[in-house]
Amino acid sequence: MAFKRDQKREAFAAFVREHQASLRSFLRVIGVQADSVDDLAQETFMVAYRELDRFDDNEDFGKWLRGIARNLTRNELRKSARRSRIMNEELTQHLLAEAEVDQSEARFEDADLCALRDCLEQLPEKSRGLIAGRYQDEWKASFLADQFQMTAAAVRLALMRIRRQLKTCIETRVSNA
Amino acid sequence: MPDSKQDEHFRDLLGRLLDDEPGSEALSAEEMAEFTTLVKANPDYSLELRIQLLMDSRLAQYENTGHDASSFVAAVDAALDAEADGDDFVSKVVQLTDERPAPSAGVPWTVAATSLAACLAFALLWIAGTGNAVNEELPPGVAVIESLVGELELDESNRHEGDSVGPGILEVDGYASLEFYKGARLSVAGPAKLELVDPQRVICHFGKIRANVPAVAKGFTVVTAESEIVDLGTEFAMEVGPTGQTEVHVFDGEVEAYDADRSPDSKTLLTAGLAMKIKNADDWEAIPAEVERFDDLTHIDQLARDEDTQKLEAWKAVNAAAKQDSRLIAYYDFEKDEAKRRTLVNRAPSGESLDGAIVGARHKDGPWPGKQSLEFKRPGDRVRINLPGQYDNLTLAAWVRIDGLDRTHSSLMLTDGYDEGEIHWQFKNDGSLSVGVHHPSGKHNYSERGFMDLSQLGTWFHLATVFDQNEGTLSHYLNGELFAVKELKGTGQLNFGEASIGNWDQPVNEGKNSIRGLNGRMAELMVFEEAISAEEVKRLALR
């Protein structure tokens, strides 16, 4: 019995490693708050583990996970704004509907991760610094503004532009690979 | 077509939403609504938002060690372990259920025996139903307290917002809104006395209630002394007087009203806009529905928000006073310091030499909006501190939330090792609060049962432990109320030295009970070199 459970755990751990990055990005794109993405992703995997017997091997595991994630996110819609882990009820509803139509953003493979690393290395020093401050140190724009002697609005626009550039850069690299 | 001015406005809102305050606090409600409208109306904006969110998430995962792949995989693994280890905890909860105090006199013994048996049967069913899943989201109960302004008691014990409540007598003073497990929402204005029977059935002894019943919860029933109201998927309100006189007002959908015996002949259908006044079985009178009379019941969320704001203001006052209080050895308010992100700043006059170092733990929301906390989840999460000095008396006070009692012990604050004079402050997995003191005469463990049960997991509470060697007592306070007093079994000076919040370094015996990582959050920790008074504890707990 114990051996069987260990085997199940091992197989599942491999699934978690393979799908965690795409799943977390997916949750963010359907309108989950940044702080709550990891929590909901963990809950998704917990549900998946409990229901593993119902998973059909012929299906796409990633797709199945996204189905669970979507349901958990819909549950959040019912909660009062104060306690909810989503960005905003109406906005999240819209993003959920968009994700049903367009599933192209869902995948994030190892190749994308390598590409992201290369693209980050190519960034000018200041842009790299902004990204590091925002994501490694979790500083918000108003604080970064003081550090970089920019206005907060300029920091926000720069971050948006850099994220756009990185997206394009990754796509180019992956399609040329 | 969007114009450039509108583009600019959209980018301003989007930028603030993504890179200012976390979550949705960056935009006002109006701005958020405006942003949503823009996104829904313009496919380009919608796409831009999705791309920004996607890259936001990828960058967070790539750049931040707290969110990287291995941390996340380890967290899922730990959660699965906790679920597998759950058997122990569940069996202990059942033991606790068994050892409940005897019902008070006046309750017929048959009723008492039946309810105790039902309680046990429910606990057992629950275990059978969920296997070894302690982390299952729904502990035994019929409803969750969604918002609360005022006081709520279930079977004469105080319950708080976020708690699950089981079958029992519910008394509300103030306003409460409940979400039943089958989906019905019930708002209650006090003074009110209800009996929760199951997730679809409530007995209303007196009080004002308003029910919102979605289609999935059709059949939700409210019983009063003189009637039985069955909801057919709708919104209705009731006011029940002390003698059972009942008014039912239907605002939407349909409701079936019966007499108290639920005789089929008495069935009366009430549709939207209709109301009924029921004095007794023979005196039913149709009256027009009055929405305004129940308006207050639709604003409970707003009232709760107002109360949160008041709480934050009250806490700010406590915070400001504590910063000047020289009796504090250390005061950690757990607010993120932008300049020293991984430092737990000591706000007491003793200053930065007593700052703590955050290891692993991450900043999250605290007990009310606007207050931050640190979350301890993974085995390595902790805050390292070093508090010098020898003390005759001490007070430890903290805002704490326990998300799971996965280990035999869960650390609030434990000194490294367990040398003479040192203190261990922790929970045990049966829900008891355990204080270990290494007196010169020997190690003593002071344990208090019943601090926590499953239904309180995930709920914030204020906890204070007072060592008073002048009186020879050790007292514990829960949410500002005295919970227990114990006689100290030894004397001698107390000290900390190097210690961990939320974990244990240098366990005494490697192996058994050596892993004591906390699964939960802390939002404030005060360490006083004095035994503070009951009134003062109450003030710290914002009561």
Q: Residue B15: what pLDDT? A: 93
Same domain, A115 and A161: yes
Task: Look at residue B21 and tell me whether its pLDDT is greater than 60.
Answer: yes
Least confident of A113-127, B124-138, B171-185, B348-362: B124-138
In this structure, are A91 and A20 located in the same domain?
Answer: yes
Residue with tokens 């792949």: B69
Q: What is the pLDDT of residues B447-488, one digit of tens each?
A: 888 777 777 788 899 999 999 999 999 999 999 999 889 899
Residue of B nearest to A163 (CA): B55
Say which residues have a Cβ less than 8 Å from residue B142's Cβ, sequence separation at least 6. B165, B166, B167, B180, B181, B196, B197, B198, B199
| Alpha-carbon gap, residue A35 to A121, rounded angstroms | 26
**Residues 150..169 of A with a Cβ closer than 8 Å to B: which?**
152-153, 155-157, 159-160, 163-164, 166-167
Q: Residue B356 belongs to what H/E stretch?
A: strand B356-359
Q: Which domain holds residue A152?
A: 110-176
Are A140 and B364 in contact (CB < 8 Å)?
A: no
The stretch B510-524 carries a mean pLDDT of: 80
Q: Kindly indicate the confidence band of residue A1, based on its pLDDT and cuts at 50, 70 and 90.
A: very low
The answer to whether residue A107 scores a pLDDT higher than 70 is no
Task: Write down the pLDDT at residue B118.
Answer: 39
| pLDDT higher than threshold 70 for residue B105 | no
| The predicted structure's pLDDT at residue B147 | 87
Percent of chain B with pLDDT strictly greater than 90: 41
Query: Which residues of chain B from 324 to 363 reach within 8 Å of chain A, CB to CB?
Result: 338, 341, 363
**What number is the average pLDDT over the span B259-264?**
78
Q: Which residues pair with B268 in a beta bridge?
A: B257
For each of the domains in chain B, give its residue range(s) and CATH number, in order of start.
4-63 (no CATH), 69-130 (no CATH), 143-297 (2.60.120.1440), 304-540 (2.60.120.200)
pLDDT of residue B130: 33
Mark which of A105, A133, A167 sits at the end of a domain: A105
Same domain as A93, residue A18: yes
The mean predicted confidence, pLDDT, of chain A is 85
More confident residue, B47 or B291: B47
Q: Which has more pLDDT, B137 or B253?
A: B253
Measured distance CA(B116)–CA(B122) in Å, rounded: 10
Burial B319-350 (b: 16+ CB within 10 A, else e): beebeeeeebbbbbbbbbeeeeeeebbbbbeb
Find which of B11, B138, B338, B406 to mutate to test the A interface (most A CBs within 10 Å of its CB).
B338
Q: Is B50's pLDDT higher than 90? A: yes
Q: Which of A125-139, B108-122, B270-284 has the highest mean pLDDT?
A: A125-139
Residues β-bridged to residue B285: B277
More confidently predicted of B86 and B348: B348
Q: Are residues A133 and A155 in the same domain?
A: yes
How far apart CA B204 and CA B222 sit, in angstroms, is 7
Residues A95 and A121 in one domain: no
| Domain containing residue A121: CATH number | 1.10.10.10
Q: Within this chain, do residues A126 and A77 fall inside the same structural domain, yes or no?
A: no
**CA nearest to A94 within chain B:** B40
Select the residue of B23, B50, B133 nearest A29 (Cβ to Cβ).
B50
Domain co-membership, A158 together with A137 = yes
What pLDDT does A45 receive?
93
Looking at residue B355, its pLDDT comes to: 93
Among A40, A140, A146, A173, which would you mutate to test the B interface (most chain B Cβ atoms within 10 Å of its Cβ)? A140
pLDDT in tens, B69-82: 888 888 888 788 77
Q: Domain count for chain A, please give it.
A: 2
Residue A105: pLDDT band with limits 50, 70, 90? low
Residues of B within 8 A of A95 (CB-CB) are 49-50, 53
Is a pLDDT exceeding 70 seen at residue B89? no
The C-alpha of A90 sits at a distance from chain B's nearest C-alpha, in angstroms, of 7
CATH of the domain at A96: 1.10.1740.10
Q: Please name the helix (run of DSSP H) or strand (run of DSSP E) that holds residue B171, with its range, or none.
A: strand B168-180
Calculate what percentage of chain A has a pLDDT beyond 90. Answer: 38
Does this model's pTM top 0.80? My answer is no
Higher-pLDDT residue of B103 and A87 is: A87
CA separation for the pair B516, B501 (Å, rounded): 11
Q: What is the pLDDT of residue B115?
A: 37
Same domain, A101 and A58: yes
Q: Do A68 and A20 have their domain in common?
A: yes
A31 with A96, same domain: the answer is yes
> Among residues A86, A105, A124, which one ends one of the domains?
A105
Mean pLDDT over residues A157-166, rounded? 95
Is the pLDDT at B135 greater than 50? The verdict is no
Mean pLDDT, all residues of chain B: 82
Touching B: A residues 87-146, CB under 8 Å: 87-88, 90-91, 94-95, 98, 105, 108, 112-113, 116-117, 120, 131-132, 134-143
Percent helix, strand, coil in chain A, to 5, is 80, 0, 20
Inform me whether the pLDDT recorded for B514 exceeds 50: yes
Whether residue B202 has pLDDT greater than 80: yes
* A28-48 mean pLDDT: 91
ipTM of the complex: 0.94
**Counting one residue from A and one from B, how many pairs have CB atoms under 8 Å apart?**
173
Is the pLDDT score of B43 beyond 80? yes
What is the distance between the alpha carbons of residues B454 and B467, in angstroms, rounded to a whole number? 28
Residue B85 contacts A where some CB pair is shorter than 8 Å? no
CA B58 to centroid of chain Cα atoms: 31
How far is it, in rounded angstroms, from Cα B406 to Cα B423?
22
The amino acid present at B403, given as its one-letter code, is: D
pLDDT at B104 over 80: no
> Is B36 in Cβ contact with A94 (below 8 Å)?
yes
